[in-house]
Structure 1
């Protein structure tokens, strides 16, 4: 199988970076197209390298730093997905990275299999969160009033599910975040689509985002 996911690895710690390169080298569908030691270097490389699908990026780097780089990638290279791989899964870091446009967030310590799986998932357009991060998102959701007044016909649980749908999470990740079974999530999603008169998931998400779901108007959660 020829490589078809081109990855740029960005981390200022050379030993860890080299370890990532070695871990990815044996994957038949993943090609490391380049490596960078800073956000500035990564952005320069993205302007030169072709076909990059995923940037695997640390947040805590000297200079511009990972958060600013995520925003720059989102603006300047909209087809490129950023997967954060960093030391901390603290609430503020998670919120800031997701608001900036990160497609995934893992904490260093994730094993090779998890990292490779996450690269494949974000390359396919999915959002990926590590277990610690999913727990944070669940806590944020519980304490955040979601789009108050919108879609009053939905139950509280359906509003939670709709919020996560609008954030781009798939059924499996919604289930993990809300501690539900995937079947329950599917049932809630079907009820949401019916109540909103939405013929598809994409239409329901569009309606939800228009109503303010998927963002945090108070600025204290991921967007």
Structure 2
């Protein structure tokens, strides 16, 4: 019996995915989560998940952080991205960082079913129109991804705010923590990424 996990904070699309799974895999076990923290918790509790359908952008995850963290922590679990983003660059990077598939949210239920079926059969799946356009991820980006995977979700959130030029006080207010806590996160970020200042962090993330 298959076990699917759907990680998406948008109820309408989450229900659409669940509907496809229930229709074509009626005996499957299905679990759900709505942010990166709860997704990681579910994956830690369940080592029998056959496919994770992961929203590219949900609370706790921006860009490819969720995918990178899951692939680092749970390399044996196949992951398909589900996203409203339909840019070839994003799809290329997601596949280059270990996704088994990339399902745009504009896909019909029939196409979603075909994608899931292909991935469950061990194939890699992207929409037909993107198959000839994907480019590989370079070694430098993969090395950076490995470092980013060591960050906690809170540290990554701080890093994302730093990339946007936010001050420590602004970051603390937005996250509901003290400025001292923000500084502690930044110290840990610098250590894990092998850098020594905010400018290096911003440049690094702009290239990511």
Q: 2:19 is matched with which residue: 18, 22, 40?
A: 22
- Residue of structure 2 in register with 1:124 after alignment: 121
Question: Aligned pair count?
Answer: 142
Over the aligned positions, Cα root-mean-square deviation in angstroms equals 2.4
Secondary structure of the equivalent of 1:128? coil
- Residue of structure 1 in register with 2:33 after alignment: 36
Give runs of aligned pairs for residues 1-223 of structure 1, distance below 5 A.
Answer: 4-28=1-25, 31-65=28-62, 67-137=64-134, 140=135, 216=138
Give the direction of change, closer, same or farther, for the CA distance of 1:74–1:14 in structure 2 (3 Å limit).
Answer: same
Native 8 Å contact 2:20 2:112 kept in 1? no
- Residue of structure 1 in register with 2:203 after alignment: none
Give the direction of change, closer, same or farther, for the CA distance of 1:86–1:54 in structure 2 (3 Å limit).
Answer: same
Larger fraction in helix: 2
Task: Using the TM superposition, give the Cα deviation of residue 13 of structure 1 relative to its aligned residue in structure 2, in angstroms.
Answer: 0.6
- Residue of structure 2 in register with 1:170 after alignment: none
Task: Using the TM superposition, give the Cα deviation of residue 111 of structure 1 relative to its aligned residue in structure 2, in angstroms.
Answer: 1.6
Gaps in structure 2 of 5+ consecutive residues: 142-208
Q: Deviating runs (4+, > 6 A) in structure 1? A: none
Secondary structure of the equivalent of 1:47? helix
Task: Using the TM superposition, give the Cα deviation of residue 33 of structure 1 relative to its aligned residue in structure 2, in angstroms.
Answer: 2.2
Give the direction of change, closer, same or farther, for the CA distance of 1:73–1:218 in structure 2 (3 Å limit).
Answer: closer
Deviations 1:30-68 (A, max 9, x none): 624201111221111001124101111111223223622
